[in-house]
Amino acid sequence: MYILGIESSCDETAASVVQDGHVVLSNVISSQIKLHAAYGGVIPELAAREHLKNVYPVVEAALREAGKSVEELDGMAVTSHPGLIPALLVGNAYAKGLSAAAGLPIVGVNHFQGHLYAAFLEHPEALDAPENYPILGVVVSGGHTALVLLQEDGRAQIVGTTLDDAAGEALDKAAKILNLGYPGGPIIDRLAKLGDERKYDFPRGLVGAAGKPVPAEHKYDVSFSGVKTALLYQVRERTLSDSELNDIVASYQAAVMGVLVTKAIMAAHDCGAKLVCLCGGVACNSYLRAQMQAACERRGMKLLLTPPKYCTDNAAMIAGLGYHYHKFNFHSGVDMPVSARLPQDLGIFPLARKAKI
Ligand code: KG4
Ligand code: ZN
């Protein structure tokens, strides 16, 4: 089954053709990073205008690269939530138009689930193995930071989340404070390699550090507002040398990632997860990947690291996940809405081994 996926929830216009949920025939991404860099963050209306310009050529390129015509497709999938409404509207209106014109069934998919699915795009066997369940998904991006426990029948539960900023936001805002550019994550990743993470002792929120007990209801939650404020105070009215800057960046990164690893491992252990998978844009981070790998090895846990090209926003994860709806003949109606928020009730994740929708 050939599925065309379209993604426009934030600042990437992306399209991809994926066969049977895991053979990626094309993965075209047009990034707007340069446009938004001047503002230090994504401006929704600008994003929408760019999507409008790019969506047609990006879809055409994805079909061309895959060597498929619209007539050869079996269905379409489009990110319908969560995301920036003006941005989502463009991708969804285009997708609905193409679906109607070509007579292709379409399904709206959840971007958060898409990030989780990205870990399995090249490893469908990991989803098929009963011994891997429950699976703990560590979804860390610019918009989300959540630990999600996935059962074999597709039930999914968020066991931990951020109380304030997403991990990527904590990095992007830090880079803004330090005048490093946008997006901050990749820049911090690079500079941190030149610094010493032990030079500065940045606070680690909600891990019981500094003798502050963690409330039971926040056992697996994270918070990055404290570390961000500490950074602001640390650099206020200071002129930093290159080596001071690198040390600060390395120490800040270690604090953010340290909390993520601690919470993920604790949740995986307590929930009896057999497989941990790391996904979302922040999962590109080399320090986080290495720390998560080391922590999982120490605990004898299996870890699946999403390939970096599928960590940041892309449409292969949307087309791949879309296949799991189409195979059940589950389609969205012409009146399918878009929505900004991740729903409280995550519903059934169709990617799980025994999921039925
Ligand atoms: O998944 P994504 O492309 O978009 C959202 O759904 O949010 O994630 C973007 C986030 C940004 O915050 C960016 O700074 C972060 O991923 N990111 C990284 C790295 N590459 C991208 N963070 C840390 N290290 C990286 N190498
Ligand atoms: Zn994303």
Q: What is the pLDDT along the chain (357 residues), one digit of tens a residue?
A: 999 999 999 999 999 999 999 999 999 999 998 999 888 889 999 999 999 999 999 999 999 999 999 999 999 999 999 999 999 999 999 999 999 999 999 999 999 999 999 999 999 999 999 999 999 999 999 999 999 999 999 999 999 999 999 999 999 999 999 999 999 999 999 999 999 999 999 999 898 887 778 999 999 999 999 999 999 999 998 999 999 999 999 999 999 999 999 999 999 999 999 999 999 999 999 999 999 999 999 999 999 999 999 999 999 999 999 999 999 999 999 999 999 999 988 999 999 999 998
| Nearest ligand 1 atom, CA 253 | 23
Per-residue pLDDT, 311: 98
Distance of CA 12 to the CA centre of its chain: 13
Per-residue pLDDT, 53: 98
Q: Is 273 in the pocket of ligand 1 (CB under 6 A)?
A: no
Ligand 2 center to residue 7 CA distance, Å? Answer: 9
HSE of 154, CA atoms in CB hemisphere, 13 A? 16
Residue 323 contacts residue 20 (beta carbons within 8 Å): yes
Give the single-character DSSP code of 162.
B
Q: Is 260 in the pocket of ligand 1 (CB under 6 A)?
A: no
Q: Say if residue 239 is exposed, middle or buried (CB neighbours under 10 Å; 0-12, 13-18, 19+).
A: exposed
Omega within 30 of 0 (cis) for the link into 307: no
Per-residue pLDDT, 212: 79
Mutation choice for ligand 1 from 284, 292, 305, CB with most ligand atoms inside 8 A? 284
Report residue 5 as tokens. 């996926």
β-strands 2-7, 75-81 pairing: parallel
Per-residue pLDDT, 96: 98
Residues in the chain: 357
Q: Is 7 in the pocket of ligand 1 (CB under 6 A)?
A: no
- H/E element holding 344? none
Ligand nearest to the CA of 193: 1
Ligand nearest to the CA of 140: 1
Residue 112 contacts residue 347 (beta carbons within 8 Å): no
Who's near 334: CB < 8 A, 6+ residues apart? Answer: 96, 100
| Nearest ligand 1 atom, CA 144 | 7
pTM of the predicted structure, to 2 decimals? 0.97
Ligand 1 center to residue 283 CA distance, Å? Answer: 7
Residue 161 contacts residue 146 (beta carbons within 8 Å): yes
Ligand nearest to the CA of 175: 1
Mutation choice for ligand 1 from 11, 79, 162, 282, CB with most ligand atoms inside 8 A? 282
Q: Say if residue 7 is exposed, middle or buried (CB neighbours under 10 Å; 0-12, 13-18, 19+).
A: buried
